[in-house]
Amino acid sequence: MEFTAKIISPVLLKTPKLALLNPYPLPSQPTCNSIPSISHSLLDQLSPPIYTHVLFFYSTYLPNTSEKLKSSLSQTLKYFYPLAGRIKEIDKGKLHVECNDEGVEFNETRVTGAILESIHQGPAVELLNELLPIKKSIFDYRENDPLLAVQLNVLDGGGFVLGLSICHLIADGASLSMFINWWSRTAHGFTENSSPAPLPPRFDCASVFPPKEMIQNTPHKRSTEFSGPSQDGAIRCFSINSKAMEMLKQVSVGQSTRVEAVSALVWRCIKRAKCENIVSMSHVVNFRKRMAPILSHESFGNMHLEVEIKEPETEAESIEALNKI
């Protein structure tokens, strides 16, 4: 299956004074004069200088969908204002986010030659790249790359795909989820006065893990390590529907969660394919609730660790190992 995604226009989400100068969606209230720059934490510094991507599939595209997404994104950026800024290097590898309202990139495309069902069922991974706003993997603050980019892909066969790319140097998976949930609430008409009101994000990670001088480990030096898959690497897309997920959980040992069940399946398949006795797996773990004292769930940034699990001797020990994550 092949399809074509053609950009029809960059969005001009405007604030009154910057309407003619800025091609990107901006916070609905300017922040550059009222909010100081935000320092990166140590864990932000150690995160890979890459973009994290996500795609959302919707079966219905309404005439007001585009404008609703633009206006709600602008409102959301009032609270997630660092995403409209740019990363700058202060000194000796220390980075911070300048809250300068340079904006979030937002593209709108028309996709021809594809229907939602065919895309959702798993096309070649390289085709999905056309639905993302950022096509490259590496983030480079020296090129003034945006921290967040959005692409609205309207399918000629009906429905749309919303693609997001966010810089890993400013947000982990939990932070991205926080932003998406807030944006979704805003698009559905909820405001800060709606009940129950969500707590706003907190940009306090640097107070927990202060940055350090990292002359030999700056993001642009580490970018060569993340330039793309190695020759021995492979990327594949697998789809597991809800019925298959329930069947997988039923055959697992104990009361397995979805993550545990899928992880155990992948682990077993890799072991069988490699025909080796020594196999390990790593999981990225959100430790906001695992610290003492517990960190706020609203702490925005990188608050995760990669945990490695070595091969146990039995399937029951596999589940027990996953439960410890």
Average of per-residue pLDDT across 283-309: 86
Residues 170, 154: Cα–Cα separation, whole Å: 29
CA 25 to chain CA centroid, Å, is 18
Residue range 22-33, pLDDT digits in tens: 445 656 665 555
Pick from 126, 124, 131, 138: nearest CA to 49: 138
Average of per-residue pLDDT across 42-52: 90
Query: CB under 8 Å to 181, separation ≥6 — which residues?
Result: 198
Average pLDDT, the chain: 79
Higher pLDDT, 162 or 218: 162
The pLDDT score that the predictor gives to residue 285 is 87
Per-residue pLDDT at 267 exceeds 90: no
CATH 3.30.559.10 given to domain 242-323: yes
The pLDDT score that the predictor gives to residue 22 is 41
101 Ramachandran zone, left/alpha/beta (phi>0; psi -120 to 50): left
The pLDDT score that the predictor gives to residue 12 is 40
DSSP 78-96: TTSGGGGSEEEEEETTEEE
pLDDT grade, residue 282 (50/70/90)? confident
Average of per-residue pLDDT across 92-113: 86
The architecture in CATH of the region 4-226 reads 2-Layer Sandwich (3.30)
pTM of the model: 0.81
The pLDDT score that the predictor gives to residue 278 is 59
The boundaries of every CATH 3.30.559.10 domain in the chain are: 4-226, 242-323
Residues 81, 200: Cα–Cα separation, whole Å: 11
3 state DSSP class of 7? strand
pLDDT grade, residue 231 (50/70/90)? very low
Per-residue pLDDT at 239 exceeds 70: yes
Per-residue pLDDT at 189 exceeds 90: no
> Quick check: 307 and 194 in contact, CB under 8 A?
no
